[in-house]
Structure 1
């Protein structure tokens, strides 16, 4: 049986080396290493020394012989506590106990004394506080901190705040731009969507909107590393920071526990700087719910209801001592928050209230670790996140969003010691996210609102009247179903004073979904003051509750206000991507990355690091679409009737040295986030060209476009909605000349300037990238106390105007040839040359973002 297992793992190891020699553009190294030199008391190297590191939790042993220069390096070690033993004939055996951290190199030097091998000397030494090998800027949060520090909602990611330059935000609701990303980590003031987050070496980022696609319990986490700058090439294409998480494992002893956390509004401070009853400059209270300070609504505002219950447990231990281990954990969260919905206009006073905001979540994780023999170890992990919520903003509950998320990841890892100086680490993972956003059900809506009147318009058209919005959110229903397969392989080779790493990664994404954007329609009305100013006769017919001094306005009263402008409604295929043009191809995307680097210890205390990475993404541009003749006004003549070239020149060089070290790193950004498809197949149509059903009556325009108040009310719009929808569908048939994704309709507009890049994409357009430099110094000022200071600089090119605030710091050279506006000829779908407007952008000098300080930052 053992022979068969050995054959199986040898086969897996060879497959790993053949399939991908390295780490993908977003992969993380989930292991650490031990490095040192063995000398005698006269400072001469001991070339015959054998160094063995034993994992104290699992008993796993890794051995190697020190080289001719006395140097040894034990690579790809799981984080944890180790006993490191050095033996050599004629010398006493020495033992050190130390801790290996994720993504870090721990130094363990030995000074051997003359004696016999049977004599054991246990060396008691302080853990090194100076890292003389690596040039990464960042830190590690260990299990003790995760377990004992207070955290918001028991989220371990909130502890990332301890690292300089890191901020963590909490978003309580799930929505179109934030489907399963509640704790958002921003590094160096970059957008949180650009932070790369991985678990055990596999990325868990949302491939559409950034941030996390799956949440993990704090009980799952052994430790995590935060890299803020000067990333190791094995970390992948990272431009704004990375979080590298390692999950817990079973050990040779059984251990476990249960927990219950409870917090409610009675145990919490008031969530604001000013009390709701304190006056504002206009004399009104901070919260209009407290216009009557003794009212029940004011009492709820002074002490908003909140309750959070979290409970679960862990269990782990050996299945077979020193061979097979298990660990599992489960956590459940039941939470009800409070959301104050208030409107300053006295007319809307009856709609002021505090709504409930429920959230439920189940988190589960199981991991098996297997020591096959002295050369091969493996693990298998499965993690699940299932949560649902109903949430919204300052709108009535019929406009809120009910979210249902189910995410899981399965991962296999195999570490093989091919020989003492050559270690291969292979990882495969499969991730899936099912997100559904929909209007709340009638029962859900009434439960959170406490008043069925606030659920008016549920799953219907969305009016905005005076300032209150109700009806279907314009972003729902929608769903997404990304499937991600990741193959990652890292090889570590120690050759004398060189530590060579090389590898590669292949990430295959398969994604589809729907987005029924504004499919129920939306419109707005004139306010009573606007009606009075423009049409006093019509104003006289309005209910008294809508006039000065009036109160208790109802939804029925609000619907008597006249429509302002026209109806906007989504029509077409809500699928993402839209059918039929190249549907199967657009569903898929492949990301490839290969890298090689070397850390060369040229002499004691000085390590030179250098390397090169290369990245490629297969389906980031519309490279399979020929550019047709009707785009002639947008394109140079030689761009017509040709396809867009693939981009193969995405190289990432890196150079640095330690320990007082300037370092220059070049990296590319996650191109998929920046250069996604131009948009969604369901297009927004205006009803401005439709006939007005009341045309011919006094004061009524001929078309459904109201520039001044007329006797066409919000209720009239609702009553005729089905008619308007059918007229728009009939008047806008598909003619096969869509500009963005062929197969939708001719009047589809491209969403933003970068969408236009994706269409014409002339040779001046380029992938964005950052240029990064850091200079740092570390100083041990006393035992177990060190101070470090870093100057870091990050410059970027080609990120795009308005990209999540990055345009404040980075120049967008792609804007040279970008068109800011254009129009189509309705009958043909061709571009009207007279409508073209070029963006008059002139490239500026680079701007940079810099931080400095002694483990602190100044932005």
Structure 2
């Protein structure tokens, strides 16, 4: 009851605040000092910032010490002007970037003659005075750097220490995610216009990115974004690793638009090493896998009412046809198998992926003090996949996703106060299901007289249907006050967010009856003195596996977050960023879960037989033993100190605590593993009468009719559930982070070098109670002691908060923002170098939730990630060839630690791994094991009839470097981890 009253109080408090716009996560700040020609402070000067695209105005007044602050500025180009009686007015044109705080000082000259404006239009002002380790990805980089699938997450790799999964052509599902700091993608977060897109249910960190090759948001709707890998401020929630905060495009006072198309097919792709090997071995039979992709889109923005109401809308489509090769090696001499005709499924089969992204925004400027914004976006995708090899396309899954987000935001600024808030609604649905329905699954295997079995082929419907839905409204309010000047200048921010989320989860795993066929099978049942060799010869199945039971779980989760942040400048050179955040969730895990009586009875009766006996006081609950976590207090401290008056050289650093969350899917399985047990029915061979524990086969059983299947399993005792025990004292994952560094401005070029440290704690990990290592730590060590099933259950699993990670890195960045001069020439470039050590304990790799058989056998060991990585990017106009622009991305790495046969040796958890031999790269011979160079040429043609045309050519992996992998079990690679050279051609029309 107290908890509900607390939630009500928070809601009433929020509704009492002015409803406003643009959460602090999406805006920038300009602050500085006004002085006269003698260096004396100038008070009461009027500072005005005018958005050059929309005409929107913001004003501030300098204080007694000459300081001023303009917080909450929408990322845009501004004309900043200042006036004071007795001094000549001044103007500067600058670009404010998302999340950035710019220091802009004015030196006024006595007199009344207006000075000529200092113009730096089109080039972002340089951010020097931040304690964050952050990288801004600019509009020019988003639009002009090569990107294979237009996924805007691709460019997150420009930030130090960030790993982005590659876009692969024919490599199955693909996970388009990003990660950092030796933690998994589950620990990141993405903010779009201040709204969190955290995936609470499953992996990937961001809604829609779990097992998806899709783009979380239309790239042509993103204006810019900021990747923060260290020391992000207290206004950001639900991330113990890196975050991305993005702002979307808005309409302006001039109508403009863009339409584009990009195309790629198999004729524009090179072969990799292993495809060439296959072609040379059998040139007559070799066929290049089918592939085609069309990327298309358009955008339109402009004024509905000049200086008042603006519209922007965009569409992007990603339409791919990939090929998967089905290759079943069908044995001969079996009449029953011949009648199935598995060979008909062999060959290259199309795997279509379709994604549609829509975005629309209305922006309204009510006046100098207030503005309103409404945006809506939708993502829909389907992906027919998960077949190939021995699995027929008939058994494919159709991976469907629908994601919608609506945001209403209002801003009010007056005097020393700025209030920003948003009301949003989000709906995320993840729905993989069989592409072909109502067919029983049939798996054909090769058997032997001593064991079973290797798969020949799989046909029928895919086994499972899942339907995850995460939806609900969110309210956020951020209040900023700039009028406090005790012992210096303060920018004080306080904010609250409340999310009312509902989770609807349906997991019909193994819903399709799964029948297994083989030729020969040894079987030993109770009463048998020796294995019986059974000759099925594919005439009938030897086993059915099927799950049945209530498949769903529905609940609600109320999230509350609050923070206080003070950006305090005791002097002009020193800024301290002091903040604290607190978060709470009412239902992150299933706190009301009641341990079933049969689980209690079994464990109490046979606890001594478990390899790791269960502490029943910690793992049994009657629905009241699991307390909500109220201790997520997260202090965050940062500083920046300028070594000179002009902010040319700045020391920076910080430290903080960052809480994340555990996936709700864990709680789902805690319930469903018991509610929806797995049934196994053994069939007698066609030539023998059933023994005890066997059922005689009848062709009517080969069905998906649940009435028939229920009758069948009722006659068999083979029902087994799995026990998942979540600790009543389960902790919330978190990290501690600290960094220190120095940055220096060489004109328009900024270089920084720093150290970053991250320690991850309390990752939830499942252990097996019924298994252990045999003779652990000795030469005779092997797996495993114990066994399955265990007294009516397949396994007994229990959680510990034992997962840990370590990250220590040297990070170097050099950046020069793209700038185009009046003559039409421009260039920009960047270089990032990371040298890091990463380690993990309690699990094999970061993000793994299972420690087989127990965390105590997985001590600290290096993470399977590369040590060194370099990323370079550039955009360059070529004045000699009018209208031609050349851009590119270079990625070089020492290569991830590769697995070999000793990887899981419990005597030596420094994996028996190695880094592949380093390969030459121009100018750096013998330096890098991983190499990739992407190039882009763009040709703009002269404008005509108010518009202009451009053609583009993107060459990915331009030098066709072969980056090898797949070495588990040996030292010879048998696959590549990146695609070979490929060309993409495109065209654009702009007006």
TM range (shorter): 0.7 to 0.9
* Cα separation, partners in 2 of 1:525 and 1:435, compared to 1, 3 Å: same
The aligned counterpart of 1:294 is 284
Secondary structure of residue in 2 paired with 1:119? coil
Q: Residue 406 of structure 1 contacts residue 435 of structure 1 at CA under 8 Å; is this kept in 2?
A: yes
The aligned counterpart of 1:588 is 556
Instruction: Give per-residue Cα distances to partners, 1:482-516, cap 9 Å, x unaligned.
Output: 21211111111112311111101011111214221
How far apart in 1 are the matches of 2:93 and 2:798? 66
Query: Is 1:51 aligned to residue 47 of structure 2?
Result: yes
Deviation at 1:772, TM superposition (A): 0.9
How far apart in 1 are the matches of 2:628 and 2:28? 36
The aligned counterpart of 1:222 is 223
The aligned counterpart of 1:604 is 572
* Cα separation, partners in 2 of 1:625 and 1:315, compared to 1, 3 Å: closer
Query: Is 1:370 aligned to residue 364 of structure 2?
Result: yes
Q: Residue 822 of structure 1 contacts residue 836 of structure 1 at CA under 8 Å; is this kept in 2?
A: no
The aligned counterpart of 2:63 is 67
How far apart in 1 are the matches of 2:655 and 2:790? 47
How far apart in 1 are the matches of 2:238 and 2:578? 16
* Cα separation, partners in 2 of 1:53 and 1:14, compared to 1, 3 Å: farther
TM-score by length of 2: 0.67
Deviation at 1:44, TM superposition (A): 1.2
**Structure with a larger share of its residues in helix:** 1
Q: Residue 722 of structure 2 contacts residue 796 of structure 2 at CA under 8 Å; is this kept in 1?
A: no
Deviation at 1:20, TM superposition (A): 9.9
Deviation at 1:823, TM superposition (A): 8.1
Secondary structure of residue in 2 paired with 1:52? strand
How far apart in 2 are the matches of 1:685 and 1:618? 29
Query: Is 1:778 aligned to residue 743 of structure 2?
Result: yes
Deviation at 1:527, TM superposition (A): 6.3
Query: Is 1:499 aligned to residue 491 of structure 2?
Result: yes
Deviation at 1:313, TM superposition (A): 1.5
Q: Residue 474 of structure 1 contacts residue 517 of structure 1 at CA under 8 Å; is this kept in 2?
A: no
Task: Please show how residues 406-421 of structure 1 align to structure 2 within 5 Å.
Answer: 406-417=402-413, 419-421=414-416
How far apart in 1 are the matches of 2:652 and 2:507? 50
How far apart in 1 are the matches of 2:283 and 2:699? 36
**Structure with a larger share of its residues in strand:** 2
Task: Please show how residues 326-345 of structure 1 align to structure 2 within 5 Å.
Answer: 326-342=311-327
Q: Residue 230 of structure 1 contacts residue 773 of structure 1 at CA under 8 Å; is this kept in 2?
A: yes
Query: Is 1:725 aligned to residue 725 of structure 2?
Result: no
Deviation at 1:779, TM superposition (A): 1.7
Counterpart pick for 1:478 among 466, 471, 495: 466
Counterpart pick for 1:460 among 440, 443, 453: 440
* Cα separation, partners in 2 of 1:32 and 1:124, compared to 1, 3 Å: same
Secondary structure of residue in 2 paired with 1:398? helix
Task: Please show how residues 14-413 of structure 1 align to structure 2 within 5 Å.
Answer: 18=16, 29-116=25-112, 119-124=114-119, 131-170=127-166, 183-211=176-204, 212-213=206-207, 215-270=216-271, 272-276=272-276, 278=277, 286=278, 292-295=282-285, 298=286, 300=287, 303-342=288-327, 352-394=346-388, 395-413=391-409
Deviation at 1:173, TM superposition (A): 11
Instruction: Give per-residue Cα distances to partners, 1:702-723, cap 9 Å, x unaligned.
Output: 3239xxxxxx899897479978
What is the aligned residue count?
728
The aligned counterpart of 1:790 is 754
* Cα separation, partners in 2 of 1:344 and 1:601, compared to 1, 3 Å: farther
Q: Residue 793 of structure 1 contacts residue 849 of structure 1 at CA under 8 Å; is this kept in 2?
A: yes
Secondary structure of residue in 2 paired with 1:159? helix
Counterpart pick for 1:857 among 831, 834, 839: 834
Secondary structure of residue in 2 paired with 1:616? strand
How far apart in 2 are the matches of 1:849 and 1:747? 41
Deviation at 1:677, TM superposition (A): 3.5
How far apart in 2 are the matches of 1:382 and 1:98? 29
How far apart in 1 are the matches of 2:359 and 2:704? 52
Q: Residue 479 of structure 2 contacts residue 495 of structure 2 at CA under 8 Å; is this kept in 1?
A: yes
How far apart in 2 are the matches of 1:587 and 1:273? 50
Query: Is 1:670 aligned to residue 661 of structure 2?
Result: yes
Q: Residue 687 of structure 1 contacts residue 724 of structure 1 at CA under 8 Å; is this kept in 2?
A: no
* Cα separation, partners in 2 of 1:159 and 1:370, compared to 1, 3 Å: same
Deviation at 1:468, TM superposition (A): 3.6
Task: Please show how residues 674-823 of structure 1 align to structure 2 within 5 Å.
Answer: 676-679=667-670, 681=672, 685-687=677-679, 692=683, 698=688, 701-704=691-694, 718=702, 725-727=709-711, 730=714, 748-750=721-723, 755-757=724-726, 760-761=727-728, 763=729, 765-780=730-745, 782-801=746-765
Q: Residue 692 of structure 1 contacts residue 701 of structure 1 at CA under 8 Å; is this kept in 2?
A: no
**Stretch of structure 1 that moved more, 497-506 or 602-611:** 602-611
User: CA RMSD of the aligned region, Å?
Assistant: 4.0
Secondary structure of residue in 2 paired with 1:92? coil
* Cα separation, partners in 2 of 1:728 and 1:187, compared to 1, 3 Å: farther
Secondary structure of residue in 1 paired with 2:232? coil
Q: Residue 35 of structure 1 contacts residue 74 of structure 1 at CA under 8 Å; is this kept in 2?
A: yes
* Cα separation, partners in 2 of 1:732 and 1:247, compared to 1, 3 Å: farther
The aligned counterpart of 2:984 is none
* Cα separation, partners in 2 of 1:789 and 1:732, compared to 1, 3 Å: farther
Q: Residue 431 of structure 1 contacts residue 483 of structure 1 at CA under 8 Å; is this kept in 2?
A: yes
Instruction: Give per-residue Cα distances to partners, 1:579-631, cap 9 Å, x unaligned.
Output: xxxxxxx5211111000011111112211121111110001244335668773
Secondary structure of residue in 1 paired with 2:274? coil
Secondary structure of residue in 1 paired with 2:424? strand
Deviation at 1:372, TM superposition (A): 0.6
Counterpart pick for 1:516 among 476, 483, 508: 508
Secondary structure of residue in 1 paired with 2:54? coil
Q: Residue 23 of structure 1 contacts residue 505 of structure 1 at CA under 8 Å; is this kept in 2?
A: no
Deviation at 1:637, TM superposition (A): 5.9
Q: Residue 560 of structure 1 contacts residue 714 of structure 1 at CA under 8 Å; is this kept in 2?
A: no
Q: Residue 20 of structure 1 contacts residue 503 of structure 1 at CA under 8 Å; is this kept in 2?
A: no
Q: Residue 568 of structure 1 contacts residue 685 of structure 1 at CA under 8 Å; is this kept in 2?
A: no
How far apart in 2 are the matches of 1:79 and 1:724? 63
Q: Residue 22 of structure 1 contacts residue 491 of structure 1 at CA under 8 Å; is this kept in 2?
A: no
Q: Residue 441 of structure 2 contacts residue 462 of structure 2 at CA under 8 Å; is this kept in 1?
A: no
TM-score by length of 1: 0.76
**Stretch of structure 1 that moved more, 341-350 or 666-675:** 341-350
Secondary structure of residue in 2 paired with 1:309? strand
Secondary structure of residue in 2 paired with 1:380? strand
* Cα separation, partners in 2 of 1:720 and 1:49, compared to 1, 3 Å: closer
Deviation at 1:693, TM superposition (A): 5.6
The aligned counterpart of 1:428 is 423
Deviation at 1:732, TM superposition (A): 9.7
Instruction: Give per-residue Cα distances to partners, 1:637-677, cap 9 Å, x unaligned.
Output: 69765542222111111122114233111111124458644
Secondary structure of residue in 1 paired with 2:725? helix
How far apart in 1 are the matches of 2:678 and 2:86? 89
How far apart in 1 are the matches of 2:763 and 2:665? 8
How far apart in 1 are the matches of 2:549 and 2:119? 72
Counterpart pick for 1:620 among 563, 585, 588: 588
**Stretch of structure 1 that moved more, 255-264 or 674-683:** 674-683
